[in-house]
Amino acid sequence: MDAIRIEGLVKRFRSGWPGLPPATVLDGLSLSVREGEIYGFLGPNGSGKTTTIKVLMGLIRATAGTAEIFGKPAGDVQIRRRIGFLPEAPYFYDYLTAEEFLTFYGHLAGMGRDILEARVPQLLEMVGLAEARARQLRKFSKGMLQRIGLAQALIHDPELVILDEPMSGLDPIGRKQVRDLILGLRDQGKTVFFSTHIIPDVEMICDRVGVIVKGKLLTTGRVDDLAGHGHTQSVEIVCQGITVGEIPAIGTTAVRVLQQGPQALIVLPNPDRLEDILGEIRKHGGRLISVTPQKGSLEELFFPSVSQGAGMESGRRA
């Protein structure tokens, strides 16, 4: 069973000005998230990521289409018990300590005192805040607030964790801490669905990714497959003992050449002429050090997709 299934989701918001048509934020969105995977929901700001999450959480109703979680309609009260949620800009009562904060949310989830006495220290340890258990949240950094927010989302041991831009505004150390936490959730068998516009985070931790632009899902699949699909893979050659300028075949084929003394870096646009270039290097007395294929990146897919989506939108306005 899929943890999340969305079919033909449409969301329109009425304009605040008389005579203007409604704004379409989600335009026939369809996607599925499998149980036990980390799914990255990637898109630029304003693409519809947060609106999708609000529909899944039952915070707003879709105009059309369906959204299901574990086979039940999104917003179903019983299903909510199986979900942990961290919004993009959560508000925490900042005079509570970390321990008091988690205990409060545990009571809201219907957990008893005995269970919370064991669960709260465990979560604080998991998110690296055990030493800050008695510190008020107003004294927390942005990264610490994100981690205590994650602990809040996990207090009732949910099967599905939904996170809206969990790395937004964090420094590199904070982002690494949150990435490690998400990977740890998958190791526990949980499903993680998180939105982001930060491409490297998706490439590092996601099993699959969906790219949304202007409310439409443009593509979805495994990160490795998407990064390599339809993109030319370049080849990086490092060698010694040659002067690149004396070998015409390299100058006419390579897209980049860097000569530093006897050592040369040669980048070919694709592997089609690799054997020819290696033959030229050997013929001129060069010694091969390394040949490294360069896999395409998700960024190469993402930015053309964004441009394509913008073009589609411009066409509709025209």
Residues of the domain holding 9: 2-82+158-228
Question: pLDDT band for position 293 (50/70/90)?
Answer: confident
Residues 170, 268 share a domain: no
Query: Would you say residue 129 lies in a domain?
Result: no
Residues 251, 206 share a domain: no
Looking at residue 318, what is its pLDDT?
33
Question: pLDDT band for position 260 (50/70/90)?
Answer: confident
Looking at residue 295, what is its pLDDT?
60
Q: Which amino acid makes up residue 45? A: N
For 94, the 3-state DSSP assignment is: coil
Residues 169, 75 share a domain: yes
Residues 239, 179 share a domain: no
Residues 170, 78 share a domain: yes
Structural domain tally of the chain?
2
Residues 214, 243 share a domain: no
Query: Would you say residue 193 lies in a domain?
Result: yes
Residue corresponding to tokens 């040369």: 264
For the chain, give the longest Cα–Cα distance.
Answer: 78
Q: How far, in Å, are 6, 7, 88, 159, 166 from residue 85 at the CA level?
A: 18, 21, 10, 11, 11
Query: Would you say residue 38 lies in a domain?
Result: yes
Separation CA 14–CA 70 (nearest Å): 31
Spell out where the chain has E strands.
2-13, 23-34, 38-42, 64-69, 72-73, 83-86, 160-164, 191-196, 208-213, 216-222, 234-240, 256-260, 263-268, 287-294
User: What are 86-144's pLDDT values in tens digits?
Assistant: 998 888 889 999 999 999 999 999 999 999 999 999 999 988 899 999 999 999 988 88
